[in-house]
Chain A
Amino acid sequence: MLEREAVGVRRRVAAGLMLLFGGVVLLTLAVRHPDTVSWAPICLWREATGTLCAGCGTGRGMHHLLQGDLMAAWRLNPLMLLLGIPAAAIVGLGEGVVLVAGRRIRWPAWPSWLGWTLLAVVVGWWVGRNL
């Protein structure tokens, strides 16, 4: 379940800071819609090209999700719900275990095709949503 080797103190501190940062981001997103903050930078890709990137809408989507509006989040970026939240959960759980137990989780190895499939899904979504 966990790796045998313990991580260093600095790695545990880093995990704590990451989780703290994640918590602050979630709290901020929960209370404030990104569009109501005049300083909020919009996506660099969208700024440069005028098209949406694969992640556009995740900030607003998280706001709606945290307010309990699943459908609004889905409309803004379904991939955030399908891939982003599970990925965030994996990273968050991993960092949490590092912080508390001082060891990394030993995840099962993913098969080679999974990486390429996820790449195709993300790129397909990126292109497809702009058509």
Chain B
Amino acid sequence: MAQYEVRRGSEQFGPYDHETLFNYYREGRVVATDEVREVGAAHWQTMQQFSQPQGMTPQSMPPPGMPPQGMAPPTGQVAQPVHVQRMSLAGPILVTLFCCIPFGIVSIVYAAQVNSKASVGDVAGAEESRGKATMWMWLGFGLGLAGTIIYIVGVSASGSSPFD
């Protein structure tokens, strides 16, 4: 399923799937002047250009419990789109293969959850998964580090020149 990134000034958000983006636009978290592009695409277009051919419209009726439109905050103060910090897969993979421990696998599972959760708009869940992925990655790295240091000390202490 296509994923979209949103840019406002220098800040970048997402990626979101089509439905999430649509919902954010209707809720006013993403506005017409924000720029959007499909992940991997080279060019940005404004949300307005992007949404028109698809019949996407921003929220025209205030959601229940919100102040009437006349009292709504000016466009410059709309709620920020949700920013989910990305999780690299390279670290967990590295820990799994080079530190030789299953902790890396746990880290890959949580890292994979980050984008899946973010793409359905579960920001809190994505952040939680990112925290766990990072924690397991460093635990695995720590164990691998300890083993590697023992190996390096072993090489240095094993008498003959390492360059023989």
In the bound complex, how far is the Cα of B114 from the Cα of A85, in angstroms? 23
B148 and A109 form a contact (CB under 8 A): no
User: Taking the nearest CB of chain A, how far is it from the CB of B156, in angstroms?
Assistant: 9
**Are the C-beta atoms of B39 and A108 separated by less than 8 Å?**
yes
Q: Is A67 an interface residue (CB 8 A)?
A: no
A112 contact set on B, CB distance < 8 A: 3, 112, 115-116, 119
Are B101 and A118 within 8 A (Cβ)?
Answer: no
Given the known inter-chain contacts A55-B104, A107-B86, A114-B89, please indicate yes or no for A83 contacting B97, CB distance below 8 A: yes
Q: For this complex, into which size category does the number of interface residues on chain B fall?
A: 35 or more
Given A41-B151, A111-B115, A112-B115, the answer on whether A79 and B97 have CB atoms closer than 8 Å is: yes
Q: Does A6 contact B (CB under 8 A)?
A: no
Cβ-neighbour of B100 out of A53, A87, A91, A111 (below 8 A): A53
How many contacting A-B pairs (Cβ < 8 A)?
141
Q: Is the CB of A91 within 8 A of B89?
A: no
The interface residues of chain A lying within 8 Å CB-to-CB of B143 are 44
Identify which of residues 107-135 in chain B touch chain A, using a CB-to-CB cut-off of 8 Å. Answer: 108-109, 111-116, 119
In the assembled complex, A4 has its CB within 8 A of some CB on chain B: yes
From known contacts A38-B158, A119-B108, infer whether A109 and B86 are also in contact, taking CB-CB under 8 Å.
Answer: yes
CA distance A91 to B152 in the complex (A): 22
Q: Mark B77-88, 1 if CB is under 8 A from A, else 0.
A: 000000000101
> A39 near B157 (CB under 8 angstroms)?
yes
Q: Which A residues, 8 to 62, have Cβ-Cβ distances below 8 Å to chain B? A: 21, 24-25, 28, 31-32, 34, 36-41, 43-46, 53-56, 58-59
CB of A115 within 8 Å of the partner chain = yes
Q: B92-111: which residues lie under 8 A (CB-CB) from chain A?
A: 93-94, 96-102, 104-105, 108-109, 111
Q: With the chains together, A99 CA to B94 CA distance in Å?
A: 20
With an 8 A cutoff between CB atoms, is B153 at the interface? yes
Q: What is the interface of chain B, defined by CB distance below 8 A to chain A? A: 3, 5, 10, 12, 14-15, 39-40, 86, 88-91, 93-94, 96-102, 104-105, 108-109, 111-116, 119, 143, 145, 147-148, 150-155, 157-158, 162-163
9 A–B contacts from the bound complex (CB under 8 Å): A24-B152, A28-B155, A31-B163, A34-B151, A45-B100, A58-B97, A106-B12, A112-B116, A115-B115
